[in-house]
Amino acid sequence: MPAPERSTRDAYGQALIDLAAADPSVVAVDGDVGSATRAARFAALHPDRVFNVGMAEQDMILTAAGLALGGKNVYVSSYASFLVGRGYEQIRSAVAIPGLPVKIVGSHCGVTVGEDGASHQMLEDLALMRVFPDMTVLVPADYTSALALLKNAAPSRGPVYVRLGRAPVPDVYADGDEGFLPGGGRVLREGTEVTVCCCGIMVSEALRAAEVLARQNISAEVIDCYSVSPLPAQSILDSVHRTGCCVTAEEHFARGGLGEGVAALVSGAYPVPVKQVAVFDKFGQSGSPAELQEYYGLTASQIVSAAVQAWTMRRR
């Protein structure tokens, strides 16, 4: 039988446990949601290294900033809709402006939170975080890449935002793969006729779309842009030079996320048509993850459609 799918949030507790074994300065700040974010697994082993301040996201960020100033290697996690939404002014003033090395982990992102509905389905966090100077923004595609990115963020000398999801996702990478770094990306499939830049849950959808496109005699190159800020700029530009067009795919509002970042990059260096697959002008709603992906067009079939459109417009 195939291995059960794991969510990206499942990697969080394990990453803390692994980091703490080698670094006594690693601590976590929690908002009374450790069982949901998986911080509870770390707390069970290291209760003296977890600071649970309750459901007070502004206090969480300020506590994390203070711990970082005191020399601790700090991870702070909660539901992204509240941690980023409610704590944004504190993130800006106490973390981003002084450039503190706080790792902000937003869990339960996107419509695949499911039945909890719009209040919990954070679709604007990438836009809010990538606008900050020197804020690293990371969006892993599966458990393995999430584990590696969370651990590899530890030595960062500036703030980092890691976006995690609630729903189980297919494995994209083999267990033990640790080659994921801020500013990086991974070409998962080489192609010559359309570039597909994707992140998070849309990586596995993009790989499925590439198979369909191949049967239509369109060769798609798939790049996992797990680093949304800074982008893997050279990989993207090298690819669009070959293909002449691009599709972006993300579980996020079309405004402000990966799509606009890629469009800005290529328009300034090598202008090509860019088509977005994202959530357009709608908040989330209650439903199963699969139903909501279909409703909002976050599917392989939508990537295929966008790729065909981009291919007909490509720079030759």
Give CA 72 to chain center in angstroms: 24
Active site annotation includes 57 = yes
Closest Cα partner for 207 from 303, 305, 111? 303
Q: Among 5, 57, 124, 178, which one carries the catalytic annotation?
A: 57
Give CA 96 to chain center in angstroms: 19
| List of residues 6+ apart from 30 with CB closer than 8 A | 37, 39, 43, 50, 51, 52, 53, 60, 76, 77, 78
Strands across the sheet containing 227-229 = 50-52, 26-30, 73-79, 103-107, 160-163, 136-138, 227-229
Task: Name all contacts of 150-155 with Cβ < 8 Å and 24+ positions apart.
Answer: 150/11, 150/12, 150/15, 150/16, 150/75, 150/103, 150/105, 151/15, 151/18, 151/19, 151/178, 152/178, 152/180, 152/181, 152/182, 153/103, 153/182, 154/19, 154/23, 154/26, 154/73, 154/103
Catalytically annotated residues = 57
